[in-house]
Amino acid sequence: MITPYLELLSETSIERTIRLEKMAAGAWRHYWAEEWEPFVAEAARRDEVSDRVEWTRRWSPEFNLIGVVAEGLYGEITGQERLAGFGDGGEDFPGVDVKGTSHYERPMLLRLASDPLRAERFCLVAVDLKGHSARYVGYATREELAAAPEREYGYGPTRTLTEAQLHKGLP
């Protein structure tokens, strides 16, 4: 069942805690239009920066939106603010790099083998762009991701962990 937006505004601290615990355990979080629009605005801002910077990679037209929604969900669940800046140096939150995927039916944590692994933990969030929803999937440590099998998806060797190989819950 989807909680109406106005009910979220008036929920008690206990209700909020229960809702956040469910989301940390993998429950879907639906975003209402009023909640989704800031994600779209931030993604558009990042798109403008990406257009001017050579080192960014765009895997899809929605690349930045997927990332912004993933970071937003992680921040909501943990109560943390994202570290400032674009091109965060490998950490979106202290010690954590949040990755998003639009392949929500079979989410996988992917990282190019050539990319350095700077964060201690890598968290995965599945994003349903059409449904304006997101789900926290799990996390892997730097060592686990470094040891992950490499597959080829057309962008170079890519470290790959499936949902079943990720730790459940928050790091």
Average pLDDT of adjacent 10-residue blocks, the chain of 171 residues = 51 82 91 94 85 59 90 94 71 94 96 93 97 97 97 93 97 90
With beta carbons less than 8 A apart as the criterion, state whether 72 and 120 touch: no
Distance of CA 144 to CAs 9, 26, 111, 161, 166, Å?
A: 39, 21, 12, 9, 9
The encoded tokens of residue 65 equal 């939106």
Q: State the Cα–Cα distance between residues 40 and 62, nearest whole angstrom.
A: 10
What integer pLDDT is reported at residue 13 of this predicted model?
Answer: 80
What integer pLDDT is reported at residue 164 of this predicted model?
Answer: 97
Query: Quick count: other Cβ atoms within 10 Å of Cβ 136?
Result: 27
What integer pLDDT is reported at residue 17 of this predicted model?
Answer: 84
With beta carbons less than 8 A apart as the criterion, state whether 101 and 127 touch: yes
Which of 137, 132, 68, 73 has its CA nearest to residue 106? 137
With beta carbons less than 8 A apart as the criterion, state whether 32 and 38 touch: no
The encoded tokens of residue 119 equal 């964060």
With beta carbons less than 8 A apart as the criterion, state whether 56 and 113 touch: no
